[in-house]
Chain A
């Protein structure tokens, strides 16, 4: 036992401070020169990631009304929405809701025409988007006036709609290939 204690005593004299062979500071300085990580919760980051994932191919037009001031955001092509109630500060067009309803009704038919792999991918993406919508809505319940959350929700609905439109385009493409 005494020897054990001596071993520990010897270990306590081992060097605890060791200089690295090279200066590590420059790489650290570069890294911290970037803006600090945002305080987004993982939930919001996930929602944003979903938007980025499926957002590139969107081709919708919608009108958002924020604080009763009409704000128009135009993306190429498509639908124009009239005002409708949405959240505490935003309003989406009735046409959005109608388009969403129509597309959702058609979605099952469209999905049935896809290959199992494509269908699985689309359903996975839709599930991710809808999960994000649910999470953002939950966060909005706690912070109803959070403009970032409102904007995220708006964009996420937008992406859901865009994805459903793409499914329609994809099945038409598949059909045309078969026709050939």
Chain B
């Protein structure tokens, strides 16, 4: 656990980083052009943000196919709603909010979530953990085995850095509920990691 807790972002697998990403400084221009139905500009937005959106979807769903569907659906929704983006928040935050809504909407509609939980429990290696290396992989897999509510809060708050207010807003729960879910997630993670022999 000590090593796990001292792992850094340098353990993050470099091959997972998309190459030749568009420059962030051009984002406002692409948004303006995409609003005028410029698909090329929208593709630049996609290239800039897809890895984070897909990562978020993958960590929330724990299922590659589902994450791909969610990411695609989120970008299609963004295209359709672009004229409603007023710049009150960062484009990435707005995009992530749509991605989270897409994940939640699909979960509500689908029973695949139950299947996913069974698969995650049965599977030795979670598809999410391939993005992480070393002992972080154990943490990643432990996160993936968390119950849905706790996992969603943990991913948004602890992994993606959203505040409890933001995470609660995205998930449609109160900030206090988000805090309670995080507490639950910590407790369950500690139990899981202890079982795996980490010093917790």
Contact = CB atoms under 8 A, between A and B. Distances in A.
Interface of A: 3-4, 6-22, 24-25, 27-29, 31-33, 36-37
Lowest 5 CB-CB distances: which A-B pairs, in order? A18-B55, A11-B158, A17-B51, A15-B131, A6-B5
Contacts of B161: 12
Nearest to B40: A29
Q: Is the interface of B mostly helix, strand, loop or mixed?
A: helix
B24 to A, nearest CB: 13
Given A10-B5, A36-B79, 7 more contacts: A4-B186, A11-B159, A16-B159, A19-B18, A20-B64, A24-B75, A28-B79
A20 B56 contact: no
A24 B54 contact: yes
Contacts of B58: 18
Contacts of B140: 14
Contacts of A31: 72, 76, 79
Interface residues of B, number: 50
Interface of B: 4-5, 7-9, 11-13, 16-18, 37, 39, 42-43, 46-47, 50-52, 54-56, 58-59, 64, 67-68, 71-72, 75-76, 79-80, 128, 131-132, 136, 139-140, 143, 154, 158-161, 186, 189-190, 200
Contacts of B139: 10-11, 14
A161 B158 CA distance: 61
Nearest to A32: B79
A16 B72 contact: no
Contacts of A33: 39
